[in-house]
Structure 1
Amino acid sequence: MTRKTVRIAMNGVTGRMGYRQHLVRSILALREQGGLDLGDGTVLWPEPILLGRREHALKEIAGRHGLTEVSTDIDAVLADPSVDIYFDSQVTSAREEALGKAIAAGKHVYTEKPTATGLDGALALARLAHARGVRHGVVQDKIFLPGLRKLKRLVDGGFFGRVLSVRGEFGYWVFEGDWQPAQRPSWNYRAEDGGGIVVDMFPHWEYVLHELFGRVTSVQALATTHIPQRWDEQGKPYDATADDAAYGVFELEGGAVAQINSSWTVRVHRDELVEFQVDGTEGSAVAGLRTCRVQHRGATPKPVWNPDVPATEAFRDQWQEVPDNTEFDNGFKAQWELFLKHVYAGAPYHWDLLAGARGVQLAELGLRSSAEGRRVEVPEVSL
């Protein structure tokens, strides 16, 4: 067995997502399992270089996990020929420039979404990566969640017949920050810093819908700021200039309609923080982060509307749980493994910068739809 060291510059690991999901639960988890076996006698050994602006924070994380390499100089790291991959989980406003530098330096790139602040920038990155001949991938973690993998299994097996509609509910109450600390960074609520739930979540909905049910062909959205003032990490009040809730209707190729509510101003009365209900001619399913329940056409009860008497049926009990039937690894780690196999073993991979651009496009058109109060067509994008 040959061990190949893969040096990965990881920019943004001081943030919640970059640290927990990408560094700890993906890259360090791969090291804990002995590396990634490519199946040809080669084991990839990821060696992270922690990159960011706050050296003291980087050193603290490195010390906590027995790592040695940290840097605040992105140009120097990208100029190092031993660095193979650049990963970005910075704030959105800083991502486009950094990715452009990494691609120009000939590095393979893997990045959180959105890939840029606008479609033009996102497409420019995809075209630059294509011209430069580097491998590139965009995090699309939701489709690797156990609940959505079960849902895809149902779609692929023809369980639904013709899919009629998809209903999605995502969100939770993010504290304003005055009497309880907010559980999301304050920049998420400032449009000038790249914040907003449309920019954050519509790219997710694009790839979930595209992957499972078909390309989004139109969007009609209402984005709003329900909480106009919040308090930042220092306890200082600030104006919330970004949308904190969005209500979207998406037409899909093939005729299905998706309705998805996204909100940081909703209190949870559902089994999981995100749930999708899919209704088809032959059956329905409700999928969350981990679970998926189904009701087939042949087992569908016959409810009768009668508001004069209490409900006599426990509707949730009429659904059947979809079994795991396999072990589900962490979704972020699973996609890291696929990307590394794509780079070093030529494995197929289609969650690239062009796919990322589709997500940016949907967010951009969703905001346009909200601002103009109309339905907006979503044209196909290409290199």
Structure 2
Amino acid sequence: MTRETVRIAMNGVTGRMGYNQHLVRSLLAIREQGGIDLGDGSTIWPEPVLVGRSEARLAAVARRHGLDAWSTDLDAVLADPAVDIYFDAQVTAARAEAVRKAVAAGKHVYCEKPTATGVTDALELARLARDAGVKSGVVQDKLFLPGLRKLKRLIDGGFFGRVLSIRGEFGYWVFEGDWQPAQRPSWNYRAEDGGGIAADMFPHWEYVLHELFGAVRTVQAHVTTHIPRRWDEHGKPYEASADDAAYGVFELEGGAVAQINSSWAVRVDRDELVEFQVDGVEGSAVAGLRRCRVQHRAATPRPVWNPDIPATEDFRAQWQEVPDNEEFDNGFKAQWELFLRHVVLDEPWRWDLLAGARGVQLAELGLRSSAEGRRLDVPELSL
């Protein structure tokens, strides 16, 4: 058996997302399974090199997981010819500069979204990677959720016929931080640090809509800050300069309309923290993180509006559960495996920095639409 070792500089792994999803549940999980089996007796073996600003925190993570490579000197790590890939899960405002350095050093790049705070920088990163001949990837984890994979199965099987509309609800109540600690870091609520729910979630909605239903052609959004005062990790109050709720209407290629609400100031009355209802001529579905339920045209009841009597129908019971029919791995891990295969074997890959720039573009246009109070076209991006 041969082992192809791939050294990955991981910047931002002391943060919640970088540590939990990318280090522990992705790369370390791949190592625990023996690497990525290529089916010919060889494997891809990821070797993390932890990068960050805090020496103490990096050392603690390395010690906890038996890793021996970590550094607070990003430039030195990028200058190491043994490092193959640069991964970035820092705060958004710091990402573009670090990715530029990585590309200039000839490293393949894989990073969280959004890739930059503006579409100009996001497109520049995509061009730099193309011109340098390095491979690039952007995390688009929601495509790998069990619920959305079941939804994709329905689409590919022609279940919906012509899709009419998509309605999405995402969010939960993030505590202000005064009497209970907030579940999200305070930089999420500071525009100067790249925060804001539109910047965070519109890139997700772009790739979900683009991959499943069609490219976004127009956007009309209302973006607001419902909770203007919050408390940071040290209990210090601050004024939120970034939005915590974004309500968007998106017209898609082919005519379908998507309406998606995103909020960190909403209390959950749904089965899951994100749900999409898709209505088509032939049938409808409701998909969340894990579950997906359907109602076919032939099994659709005939509701009658009558506000004078109590409802006698159990509407939720009229839907049928879509079975798993397969084992679903962690979505972040699944995409990491595909990217590593892309780097080592040059297998097909489409979630590159240009795809990431489309998400940044949609967020930027959404914020502009809200500020100007009008619907905006979404031009097709190219390099």
Q: Give the TM-score normalised by structure 2.
A: 1.00
Partner deviation per Cα, 1:161-197 (whole Å, 9 max, x = no partner): 0000000000000000000000000000011111000
1:254 equivalent to 2:254? Answer yes
**Alignment partners' CA distance in 2, 1:323 and 1:103:** 43
For residue 356 of structure 1, report the CA deviation from its aligned partner.
0.2
Which residue matches 2:33? 33
Partner deviation per Cα, 1:89-147 (whole Å, 9 max, x = no partner): 00000000000100111001100000011111001000110111111100000010000
Amino acid at match of 1:197: I
Which residue matches 2:193? 193
**Matched residue SS, 2:134:** coil
For residue 22 of structure 1, report the CA deviation from its aligned partner.
0.2
Question: Any runs of at least 4 consecutive aligned residues in structure 1 with deviations exceeding 3 A, and if so which?
Answer: none
**Alignment partners' CA distance in 2, 1:6 and 1:341:** 11
**Alignment partners' CA distance in 2, 1:74 and 1:355:** 26
**Alignment partners' CA distance in 2, 1:191 and 1:5:** 39
**Matched residue SS, 1:284:** strand
For residue 41 of structure 1, report the CA deviation from its aligned partner.
2.9
**Alignment partners' CA distance in 2, 1:86 and 1:139:** 13
**Alignment partners' CA distance in 1, 2:179 and 2:86:** 39
**Matched residue SS, 1:95:** helix
**Matched residue SS, 2:24:** helix
Partner deviation per Cα, 1:300-330 (whole Å, 9 max, x = no partner): 0000000001100000000000000000000
**Matched residue SS, 1:294:** strand
**Matched residue SS, 2:192:** helix
Which residue matches 1:347? 347
Which residue matches 2:7? 7
**Matched residue SS, 1:200:** helix
For residue 4 of structure 1, report the CA deviation from its aligned partner.
1.6
1:205 equivalent to 2:183? Answer no
For residue 39 of structure 1, report the CA deviation from its aligned partner.
2.4
For residue 2 of structure 1, report the CA deviation from its aligned partner.
0.2
Percent identity between matched residues is 81
Q: Map residues 323-338 of structure 1 onto 2, 5 A cutoff.
A: 323-338=323-338
Which residue matches 2:19? 19
**Alignment partners' CA distance in 1, 2:258 and 2:209:** 8
Q: Structure 1: any 5+ residue segments left out of the alignment?
A: none
Q: Map residues 31-110 of structure 1 onto 2, 5 A cutoff.
A: 31-110=31-110
Amino acid at match of 1:228: P
CA contact (8 A) 1:246 1:261 kept: yes
For residue 40 of structure 1, report the CA deviation from its aligned partner.
3.3
Q: Structure 2: any 5+ residue segments left out of the alignment?
A: none
For residue 42 of structure 1, report the CA deviation from its aligned partner.
2.0
Amino acid at match of 1:313: E
Which residue matches 2:146? 146
For residue 5 of structure 1, report the CA deviation from its aligned partner.
1.2
**Matched residue SS, 1:341:** helix
Q: Map residues 270-349 of structure 1 onto 2, 5 A cutoff.
A: 270-349=270-349
**Alignment partners' CA distance in 1, 2:187 and 2:130:** 32
Q: Map residues 125-204 of structure 1 onto 2, 5 A cutoff.
A: 125-204=125-204
> What is the total number of aligned residue pairs between the two structures?
383
Amino acid at match of 2:36: L
Q: Give the TM-score normalised by structure 1.
A: 1.00
Partner deviation per Cα, 1:25-71 (whole Å, 9 max, x = no partner): 00000000001112233211111000000010000000000101110
CA contact (8 A) 1:108 1:136 kept: yes
Calculate the aligned-residue CA RMSD, in Å: 0.5
Amino acid at match of 2:223: A
Partner deviation per Cα, 1:236-270 (whole Å, 9 max, x = no partner): 10001100001000000000000000000000000
1:242 equivalent to 2:205? Answer no
**Alignment partners' CA distance in 2, 1:220 and 1:38:** 45
**Matched residue SS, 1:182:** coil
CA contact (8 A) 1:38 1:345 kept: no
1:374 equivalent to 2:374? Answer yes
**Matched residue SS, 2:98:** helix
**Alignment partners' CA distance in 1, 2:346 and 2:82:** 20
**Alignment partners' CA distance in 2, 1:110 and 1:159:** 34
For residue 275 of structure 1, report the CA deviation from its aligned partner.
0.1
